[in-house]
Structures are given as C-alpha cells and as structure tokens.
Amino acid sequence: MKGGTKILRRALDGVLLLDKPLGLSSNDALIKAKRIYLAKKAGHTGTLDPLATGLLPLCFGEATKFSQDLLEADKTYEATMRLGIRTTTGDAEGETIDTRDVTCDEPAVVEAMTRFLGEITQVPPMYSALKRDGKPLYEYARAGQTVEREGRQVTIHALQMIACALPLVTFRVTCSKGTYVRTLAEDIGEVLGCGAHLTALRRTGVGALTLEHAVTLDALALLDEAARDARLQPVDALLSTFPAVRLDDEATKRFLHGQRLRLADVVGTRFEDGRVRVYALDSGRLLGVAMAGEGVLAPERLVVASGA
C-alpha cells in the first residue's frame, strides 16, 4: 500500500519465458516481472546466478504447481571459460587464487572436453546454495571455511566447442539437473593442467523451452497489458514432454475429485507407464498431471477451473 491506495493484484495463469539480464538474481527478476504484471502469485523454475543471463521460465498462478517439473529437466547453456586462472568462486566474480601458463592448443582442449561426456561425478562448489547443517555452503565460504562435500552424479549429454581464441574457450553444453557449469569449466582446466574459470554463462534451453520466444524485462515494461498477457505461454508449456491423456465428462469429474481411474476406462489412449498430462476430451482444458502405472491413472496435481 502506498499513499493510502491499495495495489490490486491480478489472477494470472501461464508461463513467461524471461531473458534474464546480467547482474540480477533470479528472485529479483521474478519480483520485477511480478510487479510489471501486478500478479497475485508467481514463482521461478530454478535459479540462475547473477553472472548468468538467458532463459528463466517464470510461473504465474496455476503454473506454479508444475514448476518442479522444470527443475527436473535438462538444461542447455553457452559458456565461456578463461584458461590459466582459477578463482575463489569458479567464475569471474571471485578473486584470483592461482595463475598458470596456458600451453595447450585447441585440439587438446577438444580432447579434454570429450572426457566429460556422459555420466560424471562433480563435487559441488563451496560458493553454492547447497546446505550443510542447515547453512548454505556460500556462508561457510565467505567465512573462509571449507567443508567436506560429497561428489554427485550428473550427466553431460552434449559438450561442443563453438569458439576458441586461447586462453578463451566458448562451448555449448546440455546437462542434467544439478550440474554446475563453472565446476565443469574448472575440471576441464585441471585436465589441461592450467586451471580455468567461467567468464560468461547464458542459458538457452530448459527442457523443451528455448530462448526463441523469450522477452527481456525492459521490453516487457514497454508493452501494454494485453500485449504483456499475450507473452504468457499456457500452463501446459511446462509439461510438453509428458504424453497427453484425454478424459470424457464422467472421468473428468472423477479425476477432478482426486479419484484414481482404471486405465481401461481411459478410452482411446496409448502410453507407457509414467507421468502424463491430463485434458478434458470435449473442451481440451488442462486438468492436471497424473501418474500412470499398474493399470491405474492416479491424480498428482490438479488445475482449478478458474485457472483454465
């Protein structure tokens, strides 16, 4: 409330593909977008460091129920690393802690990168939000403390050099959830014997979502309300990788009451066991997501009628 006038918030449902700017935290970007839309409820789908730019899907209203599904999705980044210098944070925000000569050539960099394809073990960096005894690791790091961290299994699906002007190397990586790209850069640097740190990071893909239809905060602020609303993707944009199931009127009513359905009663659908998105057959409205298995369709998260 300001000057005695209450700000009226709007009930919005959908997904905004935001191109996050440099220097802004994911939460700050969310707050700014929520303010622009005057939205009642919003959330993001996983953080990007202030150093990073690029795709940050923001969820409004009913879409917030499905943000976890994007947290589980693979991510694609374009990154630049600087060989020969290690920093406290693994990126350009940290202080230099080691400088070494860069004696490798481009083929050696390519060969080193190939070692990281597939399933690898990463030790999470100290400057991260992972918690130890209820406290984020970065708090220990800022206090000059280093704590033991267990290695975690992550998967590098694709890793390709796209530019090389030593000591700078730019690459594209598609990786599983939980992957730290700055740790990947550091580890590549260690294989090359010179160390490395990340100087730039841009996320270009989250699951099936890409930067193609993303918008910046500055551009969003210049649009009128109708044009801004038109930038919102439907709620099921977060669920496009799940098979679609459609229910008749009777099954729809039972599903929306949280009842489990026999797969034999879901007429005309063919899909493997696993998570599915569920629609009403006649209207095409998204009803929610469910888990299919052992002959049963079990509701997991429902979309309320007002969010259709």
* Catalytic residue positions, numbered: 49
Which amino acid is located at 291 in the chain? M
Alpha carbon distance 150, 267 (integer Å): 48
Cross-strand pairs, 122? 152
CA–CA distance, 140 with 265 (Å, rounded to integer): 55
**Pair 186, 196: CB distance under 8 Å:** yes
Burial of 5 (0-12, 13-18, 19+ CB in 10 A): exposed
The DSSP secondary-structure symbol of 40 reads S
CB pairs under 8 A, 24+ apart, for 124-127? 124/149, 124/152, 124/180, 124/183, 125/89, 125/90, 125/180, 125/182, 125/183, 127/88, 127/89, 127/90, 127/94
Q: Which residues contact 169 (CB under 8 A, 6 or more apart)?
A: 80, 81, 83, 109, 161, 163
Chain CA centroid to CA 54, Å:
10
**How far is Cα of residue 104 from the mean position of the Cα atoms in its chain?**
33
Backbone φ and ψ of 117, nearest 5°: -75, 145
**Contacting residues for 207 by C-beta, under 8 A, at least 6 apart:** 69, 70, 73, 74, 238, 240, 241
What CA–CA distance (Å, rounded) separates 92 from 235? 36
H/E element, 111: helix 106-114
